[in-house]
Structure 1
Amino acid sequence: MKKTLSLVTLLAAGTTQAAGFQINTQSARSTGMGNAAAAWLDDSSAIYSNAANILGVNKLDVQVGDTGILPGIKFTPVGGAEQGQKTTLSPPPHLFFVYKPVEKAAFGVGVYTPFGARSRWEDGFIGRFRAEESALAVYNINPTVAYQLHERFRFGAGLNIYRGTLELKRALNFVDSEGTVHLGGASWGWGYNVGVQVDVLPKVVTFGLHYRSAADLTFKGDADFQNVPTEFLSRLPDTRVQGDVTLPATVAAGISVTPMENLRIAFDANWVDWSSFQELAIEFPDNPAINNPLPKRWHAKWNYHLGAEYGVTPDLQVRLGFILDPAPTPGGTLTPDLPDANRFGVSAGLGYKWQGLRADLGYQFVSLADKESYAPGISGTYNGSAHVLGVTLGYGM
């Protein structure tokens, strides 16, 4: 039998708590409210949710935290047994600083991870020739300024400086044996964000709108081929590798209602332009014969967030939230290199203040509903769940 080489998709971003490879849990306070934060969040983490809202800081606000994301996605091939992923904890951190020198102006900087995922499929996974292990992280350094143009209208803007890293491992099918390929790469990119906040009814109803631009990243690194049969060595030497990824543009529109002094109810509708992700391709500049881009044809999607915060006392708050987050992946291109499913989440949280210090804790349970794939060669059903636990410590004055 003549041996043939199957070298297909090499990018495997895995799963996060949000659809695609987005991470939107950048504050434990927001996490507890189901990430409904575009219209009201008034601390330094507003750098992520709506740049205009940093004007809610009194004088100075600093916070640091981490979010543990524990996803568990499963795949059941048509006519086969269910297979899953190894337990992998992703801990994207967040750090925010805002200073307000005068009543109408504020500036600050945030460092956080808006995109990323980790994935490790079980040994012997049926889709190992598409994906075995991966770790994708996109860090954002986000300097931000905001100004109050009117007593009811605030405007903010920021620069997004992205640093992405990518590590991948997948199996190679040589028919009579199996090899592996390890990839590592990094990239810089940039974009911008702008936001507005409007007091529709002062102290009662607030509206927020925030836009974050798309950004192009070109990952460049090295490919290390292992356990390659002698007859393939000349075709698969260790070599340079690169791949392009476009981070999607996003729009967040939110409304916040305060029917009584110690109760806030918020709702966000977020649009994510995943349509920028039409193809998944890793290129080998020195060996283009093994390039094999795969179509993805993702769709732009809306996701929805509803949350509430209740002040039990002036220092103690409790929070609840609900999330609906449809997957952008059509069934015809859904494969284990980028597993996904429609997500439904519930959240809860606590916050406590002591003088200028505060601590917030937020938890989300995310259910990944059955998502059918009819991709050629690896059709089946994806589903699973994810646990998200966020902790944020802050100081304000």
Structure 2
Amino acid sequence: MVAGSAFAGGFALREQSSYFQGMSFAGYGTSGGSISSMYWNPASLIGAQQGLTIEAHNTGLFPSSDINGTLSGGFLGTSSIGSGDIASDAFIPASYAAYRLNEKLIFGVGINAPFGLSTKPEQNWAAQFYSRSSSVFSLNVNPTVALQINDMFAIAIGVQAQYLDVSLKSADATSGAGFPRSNQITGDDIGFGVTAGLTVRPFEGTEIGLGYRSGVGHDLDGDLFAGGVTTAIGLGVVTPDMINLSAKQKVTDKIRVLGTVEWTNWSRLKSPRAINDATGAEATVLHFNYDDGWFFSLGGEYDFNEKLTFRGGVGYEISPIDEKIRSTRLPDNNRWWLSAGASYTFNEHLAFDVGYTHIIPESTDINIDSSHQDYNAAFGTYSGDVDSSVNIISAALRYKF
């Protein structure tokens, strides 16, 4: 599993389904043609047919992000060297399988990369002492069981096993000007969490889904390299939990309208402390202090014929990062999602999905001064603006045995 740039709120990766990508993830917690909805609401597995279903979803992210500004007041004086494109193209795969044992019981499993981040500016750009490269990699395996209580209600619960690997670099001010070496903090760990969900079908043609993905606690075991010295550390991090509410309404036999509201508990990150394994003393602090994130989307589907379905949607994301805490490492902001997609059913067993999204971030500024949590008087103040956009292309194969 490979996940590169994160262009969702914080460093979460929403791109877990080609099917729902085409609607900006509207209605992603309801049952339908794809079992990939189990990522957000495991109870949506009630849409799985008798026997075994497998799906492979593949998403390409093509981001562009440039930071231009001025560093001043530090020991290096003034510098206006731009970051270049800090974002790299990325591939995000997701796989799902479901087995319907009988009319009431369905087993499922998802393999995903829920979190990812890769930013890498030019090595000696103006704000190199605040950040060089950043990398977050995750792999999550999520076995699930769903129970269809009756025609109206279904419930589900699952377990998460998640691997997380983190690497953050910044220039070392103690190594002087020119081409200073990098300080680096690294660590990895396997942690566990849960998922749960509920679906309700109160009327014919109406479905409501409520899904929950818990946070996963990680005690990252790694090293801090700073000032030319390597120190073994432990770093406690808990990834955010998420609650989502989705709805799907049949308008005609061919048209459906869908919507989603999502809340992500990014504020629980706070400021994790890296602890020296040998002494138990605090080695360094990572300042996040994010707000909570919100995502809203509305979309629709149209069955052109028995084989071909078109879909589209629009979403708006409220980032957990604002100008008060925005860093050069992750210059995130609120954004609009514009999406379109389609599905083609080749036969009763095989179907294909495609989805496309263009993301438009709002105007984004970075101001690291004496009031900013990252400010260091030795480095100086940094003021700049971010020019970014993202294109996402996704495709999936669904097969029913």
TM-score normalised by the chain length of structure 1? 0.88
Taking the TM superposition and a 5 Å limit, the aligned residue runs for 1:119-268 are 119-174=119-174, 175-177=176-178, 178-202=180-204, 204-223=205-224, 236-268=228-260
Q: For 1:90 and 1:81, locate their aligned partners in 2 and report how far apart those are by CA, in whole Å.
A: 26
Residue 393 of structure 1 corresponds to 397
Residue 340 of structure 1 corresponds to 332
Relative to 1, partners in 2 of residues 1:197 and 1:42: Cα closer, same or farther, differing over 3 Å? Answer: farther
1:190 Cα deviation from its structure 2 partner:
1.1
Q: Does 1:309 align with 2:301?
A: yes
Relative to 1, partners in 2 of residues 1:125 and 1:280: Cα closer, same or farther, differing over 3 Å? Answer: farther
Q: For 1:284 and 1:370, locate their aligned partners in 2 and report how far apart those are by CA, in whole Å.
A: 40
Taking the TM superposition and a 5 Å limit, the aligned residue runs for 1:271-290 are 271-279=263-271, 281-286=273-278
Please list the CA deviations of residues 300-328 of structure 1 after superposition, one character each: whole Å capped at 9, or x if unmatched: 13210112121111111111111101111
Query: 2:17–2:36: 8 Å Cα contact kept in structure 1?
Result: yes
For 2:8, give the aligned amino acid: A
1:289 Cα deviation from its structure 2 partner:
7.8
Runs of 4+ in structure 1 over 6 Å off: 287-290
Query: 1:19–1:327: 8 Å Cα contact kept in structure 2?
Result: yes
Query: 1:33–1:349: 8 Å Cα contact kept in structure 2?
Result: yes
Q: For 1:173 and 1:81, locate their aligned partners in 2 and report how far apart those are by CA, in whole Å.
A: 17
Relative to 1, partners in 2 of residues 1:277 and 1:87: Cα closer, same or farther, differing over 3 Å? Answer: closer
Corresponding residue pairs, total: 375
Query: 1:17–1:388: 8 Å Cα contact kept in structure 2?
Result: no
1:287 Cα deviation from its structure 2 partner:
7.7
Residue 25 of structure 1 corresponds to 15
Report which stretch shifted further, 156-165 or 171-180.
171-180
Q: For 1:320 and 1:167, locate their aligned partners in 2 and report how far apart those are by CA, in whole Å.
A: 37
1:139 Cα deviation from its structure 2 partner:
1.4
Q: For 1:87 and 1:298, locate their aligned partners in 2 and report how far apart those are by CA, in whole Å.
A: 21
- Identical columns (%): 25
Report which stretch shifted further, 120-129 or 80-89.
80-89
Relative to 1, partners in 2 of residues 1:185 and 1:295: Cα closer, same or farther, differing over 3 Å? Answer: closer
Q: For 2:86 and 2:58, locate their aligned partners in 1 and report how far apart those are by CA, in whole Å.
A: 22
Query: 2:82–2:126: 8 Å Cα contact kept in structure 1?
Result: no
1:281 Cα deviation from its structure 2 partner:
4.5
Matching residue within 362, 366, 371 for 2:355: 362
Q: For 1:363 and 1:195, locate their aligned partners in 2 and report how far apart those are by CA, in whole Å.
A: 27
1:81 Cα deviation from its structure 2 partner:
6.9
Residue 3 of structure 1 corresponds to none
DSSP 3-state at the match of 1:45 = helix
Query: 1:184–1:222: 8 Å Cα contact kept in structure 2?
Result: yes
Query: 1:211–1:252: 8 Å Cα contact kept in structure 2?
Result: yes
Relative to 1, partners in 2 of residues 1:89 and 1:383: Cα closer, same or farther, differing over 3 Å? Answer: same
Q: For 1:284 and 1:84, locate their aligned partners in 2 and report how far apart those are by CA, in whole Å.
A: 35
Q: Does 1:373 align with 2:373?
A: no
Please list the CA deviations of residues 286-308 of structure 1 after superposition, one character each: whole Å capped at 9, or x if unmatched: 58888332533211132101121
Relative to 1, partners in 2 of residues 1:167 and 1:301: Cα closer, same or farther, differing over 3 Å? Answer: closer
Q: For 2:149 and 2:298, locate their aligned partners in 1 and report how far apart those are by CA, in whole Å.
A: 29
Query: 2:322–2:333: 8 Å Cα contact kept in structure 1?
Result: no
DSSP 3-state at the match of 2:10 = coil
For 2:36, give the aligned amino acid: S
Residue 25 of structure 2 corresponds to 35
Q: For 2:197 and 2:24, locate their aligned partners in 1 and report how far apart those are by CA, in whole Å.
A: 20
Matching residue within 39, 47, 63 for 1:48: 39
DSSP 3-state at the match of 1:40 = coil
Report which stretch shifted further, 263-272 or 238-247.
238-247
DSSP 3-state at the match of 1:341 = coil
Relative to 1, partners in 2 of residues 1:14 and 1:172: Cα closer, same or farther, differing over 3 Å? Answer: farther
Q: For 1:145 and 1:35, locate their aligned partners in 2 and report how far apart those are by CA, in whole Å.
A: 23
Relative to 1, partners in 2 of residues 1:84 and 1:241: Cα closer, same or farther, differing over 3 Å? Answer: farther
Report which stretch shifted further, 119-128 or 156-165.
119-128
Aligned-pair Cα RMSD in Å: 2.3
Q: For 2:303 and 2:329, locate their aligned partners in 1 and report how far apart those are by CA, in whole Å.
A: 44
List alignment gaps of at least 5 residues for structure 1: 1-12, 226-231
For 1:199, give the aligned amino acid: R
